[in-house]
Amino acid sequence: MKILIIGNGGREHSIAVKICGSKSFIDSKSILYCTIGNPGIDKIAQPVNIKPTDISSLLNFALKEKIDFTVVGPEIPLSLGIADEFISKNLSIFGPVKSAAEIETSKIFAKDFMRKHGIPSAKFKSFSSENIGEVKGFIETLNFPIVIKADGLAAGKGVCIAESHADADSFITDLTSAKIFGESGSSFIIEEYLEGFELSIFAITDGKDYVLLPAAQDHKRIGEGDTGKNTGGMGSYAPADALIDDITYQKIKERIIEPVISGMSKSGREYKGCLYCGLMICGNKGNFEPYVIEFNCRFGDPETQAVLPLIKSDFLELLIASANGNIKNYKLEINNLYAGCVVAASKGYPDKYETGKVISGLDNIPGNVNVIHSGTVYSDDRKDVITSGGRVLSLVGFSDKSLTAALENAYKGLESINFDNICYRKDIGRKFYELLRQKD
Ligand code: AMP
Ligand code: GLY
């Protein structure tokens, strides 16, 4: 088989590693391609120099090279209709069609859909230039803090937790007058602030049936103790399922996952691929109430780095079963492992950050650690690997003993790596134990 991965960040590197380790991939002597690639991905996949947003060139490449299966990592190609284009040419692809991807690409669509299907999420109202005069009245129905979200994609930066009227006014002005996110922010929602802890759950679905991968927890803030600015994610761990009980798990399935899959199907937007559920688990032990914070139409980054290694059954077959409508016959098996992922970032991230720093120690990684590349490139003379992004590497540690041991391995891996002004959080996973204690 010839397999093409679209995207070249940490999520796509993790997907590539997992596909290469799949029995079906090895047995069929398959070849893996990846758009653009990076120094980590290039070790296992042939780079293809086409941008993930250049859908027509990707389609031509897939037809010419007779690609058997394509896996889409990021949301942007999905929002541009890559799945629709490939399917129209009988090419098999993992990821939802454009109309289904709207569950991520339009917050207003997602919130209206949830309201219509009774899926629990924060109380909200959507606004555009037509009803902007009603903002003040709606805010008066909520207590501060309140949450304001740009409607469209904004690279994870379109959300403001406003502590006061002044915060809210200034963000709304940024969205609507200064247009800091372009058209993505010309419409927006205001919603109530939910108190609880966050959980990321990936459902792999073929539009009818689904399997749930182990739950994970992201660490979105830049600073230790979940302080400072929001980032794309500074670390993750899995499994996080011990944080919730069976009843809560059942609520997540019955109130969230199943109504999404059936509701999307009924509205002619059959959802295939990975449905990322960003949840807020509210309430107290024994009576948790899961609420949806957001849906994404793809795997999460950096949760993927921690979740995929826990899958024991054939990962490539899982992705193909999603595309081919065969999830019903797929038997998901999970390893008895813990995984902790720590992201090494460039100085300045999530604002303007440094690049071009030489990374040392990549060949000296201890056992039980995967090094996943996000923002790395070769130097011009190709002698060095240098930093090129805000999030540079993910160090993923494993253990069959405990999450603590897995995280120790990740941090040991980090000790052997260096680049100028390397930044990382030292408290990844700590909140798992804090939350467990609160539960008892
Ligand atoms: P989003 O892009 O919708 O995932 O929002 C980014 C982050 O903002 C989430 O991961 C939460 O930490 C926080 N957030 C978003 N919506 C809410 C909400 N309604 N209540 C509390 N926190 C929220
Ligand atoms: N980790 C958050 C995301 O992928 O959107």
Choosing from 114, 159, 181 the residue with most ligand 1 atoms within 8 A of its CB, the one to mutate for a pocket test is 159
Distance CA 297, CA 22 (A): 23
Q: What is the pTM of this model?
A: 0.96
Distance CA 402, CA 368 (A): 13
Has domain 2-80 been given CATH number 3.30.565.10? Answer: no
User: Does ligand 1 come within 6 angstroms of the Cβ of 277?
Assistant: no
Please say whether the beta carbons of 264 and 281 come within 8 A.
Answer: no
- Three-class DSSP category at 211: strand
Q: How confident is the model at residue 264 (pLDDT cuts 50, 70, 90)?
A: very high
pLDDT at 195: 96
Angle at 32 between CA 105 and CA 92, to 5 degrees: 50
pLDDT at 406: 98
pLDDT at 176: 87
Neighbour tally for 405: CB within 10 Å: 15
Residue nearest to atom 2 of ligand 2 (CA): 300
Q: Are strands 92-94 and 227-230 parallel, antiparallel or unpaired?
A: unpaired
Residue nearest to atom 10 of ligand 1 (CA): 220
Choosing from 276, 279, 299 the residue with most ligand 2 atoms within 8 A of its CB, the one to mutate for a pocket test is 276
Average pLDDT for 248-268: 98
Share of the chain above pLDDT 90, in %: 91
Q: Would residue 366 be called left, alpha or beta, if left means φ above 0 and alpha means ψ between -120 and 50 degrees? A: beta
Domain spans in the chain, listed from the N-terminal domain onward: 2-80, 123-192, 197-329, 338-439
- For the domain made up of 123-192, give the CATH fold: Dna Ligase; domain 1 (3.30.1490)
What is the atom index within ligand 2 of the atom nearest the CA of 236?
1
pLDDT at 178: 78
Backbone angles phi, psi at 245, to 5 degrees: -95, 175
Residue nearest to atom 5 of ligand 1 (CA): 159
pLDDT at residue 440 is higher than 60? no
pLDDT at 438: 79
Neighbour tally for 2: CB within 10 Å: 15
pLDDT, one tens digit per residue, over 403-437 is 999 999 999 999 999 999 999 999 999 999 999 98
User: Does ligand 1 come within 6 angstroms of the Cβ of 218?
Assistant: no
pLDDT, one tens digit per residue, over 45-103 is 999 999 999 999 999 999 999 999 999 999 999 999 999 999 999 999 999 999 999 99
Please say whether the beta carbons of 212 and 326 come within 8 A.
Answer: no
Higher pLDDT, 82 or 229: 82
- State which CATH number among 3.30.420.40, 1.10.3470.10, 1.10.240.10, 3.30.470.20 fits the domain covering 197-329: 3.30.470.20
DSSP 305: H
pLDDT at 122: 97
pLDDT at 282: 97
Q: Which of 289, 99, 292 is nearest to 203 (CA)?
A: 292
Choosing from 160, 222, 226, 293 the residue with most ligand 1 atoms within 8 A of its CB, the one to mutate for a pocket test is 293
Residue nearest to atom 4 of ligand 2 (CA): 300
Whole-number Å distance, alpha carbon 193 to ligand 1 midpoint, is 8
Distance CA 425, CA 223 (A): 7
Average pLDDT for 272-283: 98
pLDDT, one tens digit per residue, over 149-186 is 998 887 777 889 999 999 999 999 988 887 888 877 78
Whole-number Å distance, alpha carbon 159 to ligand 1 midpoint, is 7
Average pLDDT for 235-243: 97
pLDDT, one tens digit per residue, over 191-218 is 999 999 999 999 999 999 999 999 999 9
Residue nearest to atom 3 of ligand 2 (CA): 300
Choosing from 14, 78, 200 the residue with most ligand 2 atoms within 8 A of its CB, the one to mutate for a pocket test is 200
Whole-number Å distance, alpha carbon 382 to ligand 2 midpoint, is 31
pLDDT at 129: 85
DSSP 255: I
User: Which CATH class name applies to 338-439?
Assistant: alpha beta
Q: What is the DSSP string of 43-99?
A: GTSEEE---TT-HHHHHHHHHHTT-SEEEE-SHHHHHTTHHHHHHHTT-EEES--HH
Whole-number Å distance, alpha carbon 293 to ligand 1 midpoint, is 6
